[in-house]
Structure 1
Amino acid sequence: MKSMLTTLCYIEKEDRYLMLHRISKKNDVNKEKWIGVGGHFEKDESPEDCLLREVKEETGLALTSYHFRGIVTFILKDKGSELTEYMCLYTADDYEGTLCDCNEGVLKWVDKNEIFNLNLWEGDRIFLRLLQENHPFFSLKLVYEGNCLKEAVLDGKRI
C-alpha cells in the first residue's frame, strides 16, 4: 500500500513553474490535470528525502535550493469511501542537471501568470495563489467529494 504522505514541488525559473501535465498513467486520479512534481514517501524517508528523490526521478534535476511552504491535507470522499492524504508542499529555486522526459506525463515550463488557465484541481488554485503571494508557512485542508471541492480551511479558518 502506498503511503498517505506525499510531497509536491513547484520548481521556479525566470518567473515560470515547471508543471507536469498528467497524461501518461492509467487509473490516475490526476489524469489530464497539471500539477507540480512529487510523490509518495518510501520507507524511512523524511519529507526532504522524498522531495529530492521524486524530483530527480520525475525530472532528472537535483535540487540545490528548496523551501518547505506548507502542509496540505486532502480528504477525498468518493462512492462511500474516504481517503486522507497529507502533502508537504515545496518550492525550489535552484537545481543542477538537465531536464529529462517523465513517464507520468509531459513536463513544461509555464509562465506563472498563465498557470490559472491550465486544467488544475480547484484546491491547487488556492495553494498556488498562496505560493505566488509569498504567504508564510500554512496549513490548508481541502475536502473533495469526487472531483468537486466542498470545503477549504486555511490555518484553521474556512475560506
Structure 2
Amino acid sequence: MILTTMCYLKRNHQTLLLHRIKKQKDINEGKWIGVGGKFEAGESPQECMKREIFEETGLTAHSLKLHGFVSFPGLYYGEDEGMFIFTCEDFSGELHECDEGVLKWIDDQDIDKLPMWEGDYHFFEWIEDNDFHSAKIVYQDDHVVEYQEEVY
C-alpha cells in the first residue's frame, strides 16, 4: 500500500485547493484536490503533511488536525493507496506557484460545484464533526462503486 496525505488549508470560510492541470500522466488530471502527497522514508503522517504543504504552497503549517484515514483499493495505477486526511488553520508564509497545478482559495459554499473525485466530497463532511473517520472507497472508471465508513 502506498501511503499518502491530503490537507485542506482553511481561512475565512475558504479552502485552499489545487486544480491539477500541469503535471504529465497525472491520476488527478483536471480535478480539484487538497494539497499533499506520498510519504518519504521515515516520515510520520504529520511530517509528510507539513513537508507537502510547504513544497506545494510555500506555506508553513504550525498545527494540523487529523480527520481520518481512507483506503483506495487498486486506485493508484493498480496499487492500493492509504490516505490520511487533515485540515490546517494555523499556517504562515506567502503562497507560491505550484508546479502540479493552480492553487486557489475557494469559498466553502462553492466547493461542491468543482470537479473532484466523487469520494472527496465526503471529506468535507468529516471536517464538520469532531469524530475520526475510517473509510474505504472503491472506484471504477472514475466513479465510486463502493463506500464504507466507520466513525469513532
Quickly name the TM-score band, shorter chain normalised: over 0.9
Aligned-pair distance for 1:148?
1.5
Partner of 2:110: 114
Which of 21, 44, 47 aligns to 1:46? It is 44
Which of 86, 99, 109 aligns to 1:90? It is 86
Secondary structure, aligned partner of 2:121? helix
Cα-to-partner distance string for 1:96-146 (whole Å, 9 max, x where unaligned): 110000000000000111000000111001122222x32511101100113
CA RMSD of aligned residues (A): 1.7
Which of 2, 6, 14 aligns to 1:8? It is 6
Range that drifts further, 138-147 or 9-18: 138-147
Task: Give the Cα separation in 1 of the matches to 2:10 and 2:2.
Answer: 26
Secondary structure, aligned partner of 2:119? helix
> How many residues are aligned here?
151
Partner of 1:69: 67
Runs of 4+ in 1 over 6 A off after TM superposition: none
Task: Give the Cα separation in 1 of the matches to 2:75 and 2:50.
Answer: 30
Task: Give the Cα separation in 2 of the matches to 1:77 and 1:108.
Answer: 26
Q: Structure 2: give runs of 5+ residues left out of the alignment.
A: none
Cα-to-partner distance string for 1:55-77 (whole Å, 9 max, x where unaligned): 00000000012101100111236
Cα-to-partner distance string for 1:136-159 (whole Å, 9 max, x where unaligned): 111011001131210000118xxx
Contact 1:24 1:105 in 2 (8 A): yes
Which of 20, 23, 28 aligns to 2:21? It is 23
Q: 1:102 to 1:77 in 2, by over 3 A?
A: closer
Task: Give the Cα separation in 2 of the matches to 1:101 and 1:57.
Answer: 10
TM-score by length of 2: 0.94
Counterpart amino acid of residue 68 in structure 2: G
Task: Give the Cα separation in 2 of the matches to 1:122 and 1:92.
Answer: 22
Q: Structure 1: give runs of 5+ residues left out of the alignment.
A: none
Counterpart amino acid of residue 36 in structure 1: G
TM-score by length of 1: 0.90
Contact 1:77 1:146 in 2 (8 A): no
Task: Give the Cα separation in 1 of the matches to 2:13 and 2:131.
Answer: 19
